[in-house]
Chains A and B, each alone.
Chain A
Amino acid sequence: MDQIAIIEACKNKNQAAFRTLMEHYAEFAYTVAFRIVNDKEEAKDLVQETFITVWDKIRGFHSEKPFSNWLYRIIVNKCYDALRKNKKNMVHPEQSQWNIPELLSHDDPETIMDHRELAYLIRSFTRNLSRKQKMVFVLSDLQGLTHDEISEITGMLKTSVKSNLNHARKKIRFMLTKYMS
């Protein structure tokens, strides 16, 4: 069963087809969600919410367009809301405990830090970024999407995408200089 057939079956509310679709895209959705919220449990919750929304709205999806972009849009919206809700509760650990130069020079960063610490590190580096800047940074530099794709997914103008990305990069570079010194 190819992807279009699966999606068409999902549109007809075929639960078996939807299970197949979830099995195929669950990890992708989790990766995007984790890179944005930097929290394992929250990313899992977001994956669940995302797929429930996919099931509810799949009839509105046009099969001729790429499904991953449509899925991106739902995940990004969910993550955006989650970031807004969690902004006040976000924990920023003490940065002095990290040895950034060693982390960057080492081939396998996980021998120095575990996932949790690395997630904290990302959160710390991106703490000064606005939600939009963070979204654009993750989609562009971590997910490798083009400006056009980001513009389509987030609904932002291409110029706005570029400007947010520049600001995000600038802020991360500043944090990097600060930590390395």
Chain B
Amino acid sequence: MNKKDAYSKLVTRFKSVVPPLENKEQIIDYVMNHIESKNREPGRFIRLLDLLFGWVHVIWLRRAMAVTAICLIILFTGQQFLLMQRLTKLENQIIKSVESESVIEDGPGMKQQVLMNLMFERPASGDSITLSREEFEALLKAYILDRPDALSDPPYPLEDPSLKRFFRKNLREQTDQDDLKSKI
């Protein structure tokens, strides 16, 4: 007997090895009983559970929910990413603005530095700046009177010595330039 014959004979033997199904009716009855017990009227708790979570058995609804959840997660992640980008951009703008000012020596507060940079570094850019009423009045007074010392007059709101020095320096330079112009 060659190998091929032996294999096909073995397969034939295997095919014949199926014992008859005994107690077929018993198996069918078991399944029917199981089905009937499933179909019986459910209790209150089961009904409540069905009411709350029954939708999970509806395939299309379950899939729709899953898709919605994925979309929301993507939207949230995208939004977070955009927010992070904007924050980083704003942070970089402030840092750039602060770092470009090399005149300040004693390191005044961030707000004052930004204010000064906007005011003196880019006077022609047309950007608007916001000054407090007191600051503006003091600045006007010093400029109109052509007296940098007026910045020290009470009530002077800029108490930071470095800021004072900075304003004075700029006003003096402005005055010198005006004098020069008038002489010419």
Which candidate, A23-31, A146-154, A157-165, is the interface stretch facing chain B?
Answer: A23-31
Q: Fill in one digit per residue for A92-128: 1 if any B CB lies within 8 Å of its CB, else 0.
A: 0000000001011100011000010011011001000
A176 CB–B CB distance under 8 Å = yes
A131 CB–B CB distance under 8 Å = no
State the interface size on chain A (CB cutoff 8 A): 39
* Cβ–Cβ contact B1 & A104, under 8 A: yes
Instruction: Please judge, given known A-B contacts A26-B21, A118-B13, whether A176 and B31 are in contact too, CB under 8 Å.
Output: no
What are 22 A-to-B residue pairs whose CB atoms are below 8 Å?
A13-B39, A15-B36, A18-B35, A22-B28, A26-B27, A27-B24, A30-B18, A40-B19, A44-B27, A47-B21, A52-B31, A52-B35, A101-B1, A103-B13, A104-B6, A104-B10, A105-B1, A109-B16, A109-B17, A115-B17, A118-B17, A176-B3
A48 to B1, CA, bound (A): 41
Query: DSSP class of B's interface residues: helix, strand, loop or mixed?
Result: helix
* Cβ–Cβ contact A48 & B10, under 8 A: no
When the two chains form the complex, which single residue of A26, A31, A105 contacts B18, counting CB atoms closer than 8 Å? A31
Interface size class of B (residues with CB under 8 A): 20 to 34
Q: Fill in one digit per residue for B3-38: 1 if any A CB lies within 8 Å of its CB, else 0.
A: 100110111011111110101100110111011100
Interface residues of B, Cβ cutoff 8 Å to A: 1, 3, 6-7, 9-11, 13-19, 21, 23-24, 27-28, 30-32, 34-36, 39
Measured CB to CB, the closest approach of chain B to A11, in angstroms, equals 14
A26 to B23, CA, bound (A): 11
Measured CB to CB, the closest approach of chain B to A57, in angstroms, equals 11
Measured CB to CB, the closest approach of chain B to A136, in angstroms, equals 13
Residue of B nearest to A104 (CB): B9
Query: DSSP class of A's interface residues: helix, strand, loop or mixed?
Result: helix
A55 to B3, CA, bound (A): 45
Residue of A nearest to B25 (CB): A23
A62 CB–B CB distance under 8 Å = no
A172 CB–B CB distance under 8 Å = yes
List the B side residues contacting A48 at CB < 8 Å: 27, 30-31, 34
A81 CB–B CB distance under 8 Å = no
List the B side residues contacting A103 at CB < 8 Å: 13
Q: A48-B30, A104-B13, A173-B3 are in contact. List 6 more A-B contacts (CB 8 A).
A: A22-B31, A23-B24, A23-B28, A52-B35, A109-B16, A172-B10
A52 to B30, CA, bound (A): 10
A52 to B10, CA, bound (A): 34
